């Protein structure tokens, strides 16, 4: 009832400075609502003010709950869209089959699932392209370090790969990343992290038997 009066923009307890001029239909409705308010058991309840406070709290909580539900629905929708886009990229690359409704990992997809790194898809594509083939131990370790290392320096020093073979393969890894980043951009996805070769020289020396703390 109070909400009905609010819709009519009428203060139940207000005494108007001037007579309210309303059409007969509105005046009749206002009179009915005032009678209903006066007849309501809560109208003369000594705890009416407390009840009004709790009613306001209820309305506030209901509004907050509705806001949170809409936020969750929006987030869920965003997650679904991102998932579908990821599946689309993986399908283009041959890692899943079956479409959005029932994506199933292929043999390549199962191999990808066994990789645990932020750069997992770049690594899988590099392995698939043969970038890591025919490297001896220290060189393989040097190139592989790019998939796990991430510098924390704002301005890292220039990278000096230890051998020409490592330089060539690191350039090939970066080319793989650029192709993948282009696909992710086209799909509206966040880019995979770019492999960082900044630790390759240190890892190469260590894999060759030298100490990591060489001065």
Would you kindly state where each structural domain of the chain is located, as residue ranges? 50-113, 115-208
Query: Residue 117 forms beta bridges with which residues?
Result: none
The pLDDT assigned to 54 comes to 78
The pLDDT assigned to 98 comes to 78
Q: Check: CB of residue 159 under 8 Å from CB of residue 139.
A: no
CA atoms within 13 A on the CB side of 35: 6
The pLDDT assigned to 77 comes to 65
The pLDDT assigned to 188 comes to 92
The pLDDT assigned to 27 comes to 80
DSSP string, 154-193: SSPPPP--SSHHHHHHHHHHHHHHHHHHHHHHHHT-PPPP
The pLDDT assigned to 5 comes to 42
Q: What residues contact 4, with CB distance under 8 A and at least 6 apart?
A: 33
- Which of 122, 204, 215 lies closest to 167 in space, CA to CA? 204
Tokens 């690191």, located at residue? 170
Residue 97 Ramachandran class (φ > 0 left, ψ -120 to 50 alpha, else beta) = beta
The pLDDT assigned to 179 comes to 97
pTM above 0.85, yes or no: no
The pLDDT assigned to 1 comes to 46
DSSP string, 62-121: HHHHHHHHHHHHHHHHHHHHHHHHHHHHHHHHTSEESTTTS-EE-HHHHHHHT--STTHH
Residues in the chain predicted with pLDDT less than 50, given as ranges, are: 1-2, 4-5, 215
The pLDDT assigned to 43 comes to 67
Please give the Cα distance from 112 to 39 (Å, whole number): 72
For the domain spanning 115-208, the CATH number is 1.10.3380.30
Measure Cα distances from 58 to 11, 54, 63, 150 in Å.
21, 6, 9, 50
The pLDDT assigned to 15 comes to 54
The pLDDT assigned to 19 comes to 59
């Amino acid at each position: 009832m109070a909400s009905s009066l609010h819709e009519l923009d009428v203060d139940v307890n207000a005494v108007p400075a001037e007579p309210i001029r309303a059409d007969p239909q509105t005046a009749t409705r206002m009179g009915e609502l005032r009678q209903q308010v006066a007849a309501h058991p809560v109208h003369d309840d000594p705890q009416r003010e407390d009840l009004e406070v709790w009613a306001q709290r209820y309305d506030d909580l209901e509004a907050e709950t509705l806001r949170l539900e809409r936020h969750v629905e929006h987030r869920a929708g965003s997650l679904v869209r991102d998932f579908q886009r990821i599946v689309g990229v993986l399908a283009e690359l041959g890692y899943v089959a079956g479409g959005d409704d029932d994506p199933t990992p292929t043999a390549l997809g199962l191999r990808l699932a066994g990789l645990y790194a932020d750069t997992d898809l770049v690594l899988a594509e590099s392995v698939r392209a043969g970038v890591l083939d025919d490297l001896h131990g220290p060189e393989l370790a040097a190139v592989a370090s790019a998939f796990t290392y991430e510098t924390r320096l704002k301005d890292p020093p220039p990278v000096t790969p230890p051998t020409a073979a490592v330089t060539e393969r690191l350039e090939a890894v970066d080319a793989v990343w650029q192709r993948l980043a282009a696909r992710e951009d086209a799909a509206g996805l966040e880019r995979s992290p770019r492999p960082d070769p900044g630790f390759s020289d240190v890892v190469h020396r260590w894999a060759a038997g030298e100490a990591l703390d060489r001065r």
